[in-house]
Amino acid sequence: MPRAHATLISRERVTEGHYLLTLDCAEVAQNARPGQFVHLRVGDGTDPLLRRPLSIMLSQPDRREVQILVRTVGRGTGIVATHDEGTRYDLLGPLGSGWSIPQGDEPVLLVAGGIGVAPLIFLADSTRMADPQPYVRAIFGGLTTESLVCWTEFAARCDEFIAVTEDGSTGETGLVTDVLAPELDRDPPVRVYACGPDGMLAAVARICAEAGVPCEVSMEQWMGCGVGACLGCAIPSSAGGYVRVCTEGPVFDATQIDWERLMSR
């Protein structure tokens, strides 16, 4: 199990309840692939007892740096939001499967909802170094403008970018899925990559299946061990039984998930 230590270089408040952490961690920076995550011990001792999974948003091996975007939702992420520069972390990572990396110059479409933008920024960033470069289109949705966290970092790495907000405060009004179907019709990409809440991913998976476009999804799930031992992160598989988000995922081909069973839990 890849265990490492990291030092917090900076913690920047991005919007209300969202923080961008820059960590000094050579082991993760040198080995991370887009779509992978770290499993971070956020406190000393046993409070909280379990590590917290967080996606790698960017990795700069030459500077030994890794960036992580944190949305505060509870005890663990709340603690991280108070940490000062120089805080030392014990972490596992990089963990999990990554996105399949686009090959050639064909168009791909990235679909992000809220904090789900983090692993897609890493994917978009990695395509910038590819030769030939894929043509990257993106749809980024949220409740309000404030929910479009780090949208400038995302847009800067894409060739085309559509923002969507439910309240219409930025970009188009509605849900990312309202924009997705017409985008697939207009110019079908070779693959869709999506990360966001389960309901959004279920809808993206259905729309892509109807359009015959391959789709990968990155799943968020409560985690215990993070390394395949506790089954705490298991989600229903379309093959019957369950798949573990921490080891078989977090990135899955959308057809691997039993969306009906997942959404009825």
Q: From residue 193 to residue 232, what is the string marking binding to ligand FES with x (rule CB under 6 A)? A: ------------------------------xxxx-xxxxx
Instruction: Residue 14: name the closest of 89, 118, 93, 87 by CA.
Output: 118
| CA 62 to mean position of chain CA atoms | 23
Binders of ligand FES in range 84-103 (CB under 6 A): none
Residue 66 vs 225, nearer CB to ligand FES: 225
Which one among 20, 29, 53, 139 touches ligand FAD, defined by CB under 6 A? Answer: 53
Give strand ranges (E) for the chain: 3-15, 18-24, 37-41, 52-55, 58-60, 65-71, 88-95, 107-113, 135-142, 160-165, 172-173, 191-195, 215-218, 234-236, 242-244, 251-253
Judge contact between 46 and 134, C-beta under 8 A: no
Name the residue with tokens 């229903």. Answer: 236
Assess whether the previous peptide bond of 189 is cis (omega < 30° from 0). Answer: no
User: According to the binding rule CB under 6 A, does residue 75 interact with ligand FAD?
Assistant: yes
CA distance 134 to 60: 21
User: According to the binding rule CB under 6 A, does residue 54 interact with ligand FES?
Assistant: no
Q: From residue 244 to residue 263, what is the string marking binding to ligand FES with x (rule CB under 6 A)? A: x-x-----------------
CB of 264 to ligand FES, least distance (A): 21
CA distance 34 to 128: 13
User: According to the binding rule CB under 6 A, does residue 57 interact with ligand FES?
Assistant: no
Which listed range, 67-75, 134-142, 163-171, 172-180, lies at the site for ligand FAD (CB under 6 A)? 67-75
User: According to the binding rule CB under 6 A, does residue 48 interact with ligand FES?
Assistant: no
Assess whether the previous peptide bond of 236 is cis (omega < 30° from 0). Answer: no
CB of 6 to ligand FES, least distance (A): 20
- Helix segments in the chain, DSSP class H: 26-31, 75-80, 117-127, 151-155, 176-186, 198-211, 259-263
User: According to the binding rule CB under 6 A, does residue 125 interact with ligand FAD?
Assistant: no
User: According to the binding rule CB under 6 A, does residue 256 interact with ligand FAD?
Assistant: no
Which one among 37, 89, 99, 122 touches ligand FAD, defined by CB under 6 A? Answer: 37
Site size with ligand FES, rule: CB under 6 A: 12
User: According to the binding rule CB under 6 A, does residue 39 interact with ligand FAD?
Assistant: no
Sites of contact with ligand FAD (CB under 6 A): 37, 48, 52-55, 69-71, 73-78, 115, 118, 220-223, 245, 250
Sites of contact with ligand FES (CB under 6 A): 223-226, 228-233, 244, 246
